[in-house]
Amino acid sequence: MILPGRTRVLLGFYELRNSPKVLGLVLPDGFLRLEFFEWYDDYIDDWDGVWEDGGLTFDYTVVPEPASMIALGAGFAAVMARRRRK
């Protein structure tokens, strides 16, 4: 669960880095970046908009890296070859 927070940023993003609440969601570089932008720039170098309420839902699927799949396949082939020799 990501707890709500408030921040004032001019570039339109809030960055969470190595927070215990998001360690499972971050990219390999350790960052989770959420960006919210409007199409029209109301005031140069100032707030563009205020989001009072909202929600984000994250869904993910674990995908094994190719090297892991190759290792699993090689292990399976070795087991099958050993069973065949007996």
User: What is the residue whose two structure tokens read 């090297």?
Assistant: 67
pLDDT digits (tens, 9 = 90+) for 14-35: 555 555 555 455 566 666 666 6
Give every CB contact of residue 26 below 8 A, 6+ residues apart in sequence. 16, 17, 18, 32
**Residues facing residue 14 across a β-bridge:** 34
pLDDT digits (tens, 9 = 90+) for 32-62: 666 666 666 666 666 666 666 666 666 667 7
Write down the pTM of the prediction: 0.28
Domains of the chain, by residue range, sit at 13-85
